[in-house]
Amino acid sequence: MISSPLSKATISIGFITVAFFAYGSLARNVIEDLGSNKKLVNSELIEDWKNRNIILLIRHEERCDRSSNPCLGPHDGITLLGSERAKEAGSRIKSYFGVDNTDIFTTPTTRTVQTSDFMLGKASLLPDREAICGNDITDKLLKHKTANRNLIVMTHNTCMNDLIKATKHRKSGSPEYGSLLFAKILSHNTIQVIGKLNSGDLPVGAN
């Protein structure tokens, strides 16, 4: 049976329509990169931060045991370069967002504690990394989030991916050292991921 040109055109349009909607669905599930095209400014993140409604997960800086760069100290900690980048990122976070009215936690590994010390100063030590990671990460974050205070957690790429998965987003590569993942609390006590930001893309100075 020979298909008519009209039938072929109809089939082609059908394939294009399906592909378009499939692409749109995937695009909606990708975490927003706040470091491109001034998306940080347009995301209204600064307003949510001022309203003390933000949860921020930060990945520790460069691991000494996986780098040829000089170590800061113990082999299970971060590198000297990592400590310098953490200090710079912390300066930008404090000047752009401010960390007053913010609770800061860190997992107890050497690399997260060192990163937190250089980036943000004193932090409350979690009993273990699973205290705020895993399939139930949203429940754990909500438990640690105090009303009218932002929450920062110095953590690991696996924990950041736990939140990405829990909020029905699509994982796209491993979060970089020192990268930030922003989320906010919605009115019905659920978590919505706003976007990600590499530490080098943090703005300088107040917004």
Q: State yes or no: pLDDT of 14 exceeds 60.
A: no
Closest-CA residue to 191 (of 125, 146, 139): 139
Q: Spell out the residues 6+ positions from residue 181 whose beta carbon is closer than 8 angstroms to its own.
A: 31, 56, 57, 58, 160, 163, 164, 175, 193, 195, 196
pTM score, two decimals? Answer: 0.86
Q: Which residue has the higher pLDDT, 70 or 206?
A: 70
Beta bridge partners of 106: 125, 154
Q: State yes or no: pLDDT of 32 exceeds 80.
A: yes
pLDDT at position 27: 45
Where would I find the H helices in 61-156? 80-96, 110-119, 137-144
pLDDT at position 11: 60
Q: State yes or no: pLDDT of 29 exceeds 60.
A: yes
Pair of tokens at residue 10: 């109809």
Pair of tokens at residue 52: 């003390």
CA distances from residue 182 to 113, 163, 165, 195 in whole angstroms, order as listed? 20, 10, 14, 5
Q: State yes or no: pLDDT of 34 exceeds 90.
A: yes
CA distances from residue 192 to 8, 45, 48, 55 in whole angstroms, order as listed? 43, 12, 12, 10
pLDDT tens digit sequence for 100-141: 999 999 999 999 999 999 999 989 999 999 999 999 999 999
Model confidence band, residue 20 (pLDDT cutoffs 50, 70, 90): very low
pLDDT tens digit sequence for 144-189: 999 999 999 999 999 999 999 999 998 777 899 999 999 999 988 8
**Separation CA 8–CA 5 (nearest Å):** 5
CA count, 13 A, side-chain hemisphere, 18 = 6
pLDDT at position 128: 96
pLDDT at position 9: 56
pLDDT tens digit sequence for 63-98: 999 999 999 999 999 999 999 999 999 999 999 999
Side chain identity at residue 147, one-letter code: A
Contact 160, 181 (CB under 8 A): yes
Q: State yes or no: pLDDT of 23 exceeds 60.
A: no
**Separation CA 169–CA 163 (nearest Å):** 9
